[in-house]
Amino acid sequence: MGREVRRVPVNFDWPLNEVWHGFLRPDRFDETPCPDCKYGASPEAQHMQDQWYGYVPFHPAETGSTPLTPATPAVRAFAERNVSRAADYYGTGEAAIVREATRLANLWNGQWSHHLTQDDVDALVKGDRLWDLTRTWSRETGWIDADPPVHPTAAQVNEWSLHGFGHDAINRWIVIQARCEREGNRQTCATCDGHGSLEKWRCQRIRAELWEPTDPPAGDGWQLWETVSEGSPITPVFSTREGLINYLTSSHYSRGPLTYEQAAGLVDAGWAPSLIGTATGVVRGEQAMGGNN
């Protein structure tokens, strides 16, 4: 666990194990969830995203793509691999392969991400997102553009998407953005302009961005804080360094007791005279402890 010594006023009396209020963003900056969207997307873009993953119905005919079948070579190969790797689960033989291939074909036919149009693919090429198809790789040269240049077809990309990792979230975003532009739809929710939430009061958002945490006051006292949460004091304030060290070596210290060397190392770690009296007055202690507990 992270700990640090803070120099606070000797009479500083913030409750132990309670996050210093200056570290917590005030509730007044919480916005109202947008009533018209989930994550700031327009209804059209949200529907596309759901179709991308097959969360809502999709059919390959919607993009003019050829439906996959259990006999589609990439589907069949994937099914054979699955079955060979987990015969206990899938069973063995031709029936098991066909059953798994049927499941995969149905699954992938319901996901737009495997049935892109040429327009979708063009957007990905423009975004330089299809290196597996448009570039070659070698140990000597790394990734370089294919020569002559390759502009993959939708069928090639859709087959590629059945292998390996397929499309990532950036590809999804590029395809949806381009389709929204082509079809004249907003990509972001008009109600909240893509934020997913609405301001409760004027300039709330800019005020929230300007908000910064406030350190506890600085002083001559010595106190150990944990830094796993935003930051809470975990020992009383001592007026001397020795006082804090003695406390850490006693059974009063809930996470101890430490040896004298450990305690002194923690208290002294990184401490430099120039830090005394600065606004932060923080001594980072984790390293001196030789790790965390």
Single residue of 192, 245, 264, 282 touching Zn ion by CB under 5 A: 192
Query: Measured from the CB of residue 44, what is the shortest distance to Zn ion in angstroms?
Result: 13
Does position 188 interact with Zn ion (CB under 5 A)? The reply is no
Q: Name which of 37 and 130 has its Cβ closer to Zn ion.
A: 37
Whichever of 28 and 38 has its CB closer to Zn ion, that residue is 38
CB 290 to Zn ion: min, Å: 50
- Could you tell me the smallest distance in angstroms from the CB atom of residue 50 to Zn ion? 16
**Is 189 among the residues that bind Zn ion (CB under 5 A)?**
yes
For the chain, what is the HEC assignment? CCEEEEEECCCCCCCCCCCCHHHCCCHHHCCEECCCCCCCECHHHHHHHHHHHCCCCCCHHHHCCCCCCCCCHHHHHHHHHHHHHCHHHHCCHHHHHHHHHHHHHHHHHCCHHHCCCHHHHHHHHHCCCCHHHHEEEECCCEEEECCCCCCCCHHHHHHHCCCCCCCCHHHHHHHHHHHHHHHCCCCECCCCCCCCEECCCCCHHHHHHHCCCCCCCCCCEEEEEECCCCCEECCCCECCHHHHHHHHCCCCCCCCCCCHHHHHHHHHCCCCHHHCCCCCCEEECCHHHCCCC
Total binding residues for Zn ion by CB under 5 A? Answer: 6
Residue reference for tokens 């893509």: 194
Contact 198, 190 (CB under 8 A): no
Please identify, using beta-carbon distances, which residue of 135 and 195 lies nearer to Zn ion: 195
Find the shortest distance in angstroms from Cβ 199 to Zn ion: 12
121 binds Zn ion (CB under 5 A): no
Looking at residues 218 to 247 of the shown chain, list those that interact with Zn ion (rule: CB under 5 A): none
- Minimum Å distance from CB 146 to Zn ion? 42
Instruction: Please identify, using beta-carbon distances, which residue of 41 and 104 lies nearer to Zn ion.
Output: 41
Give the shortest CB-47-to-Zn ion separation in angstroms. 14
Window 13-52: residues binding Zn ion (CB under 5 A)? 34, 36-37
Nearer to Zn ion, 36 or 286 (CB): 36
CB of 208 to Zn ion, least distance (A): 18
List residues near Zn ion by CB under 5 A: 34, 36-37, 189, 191-192
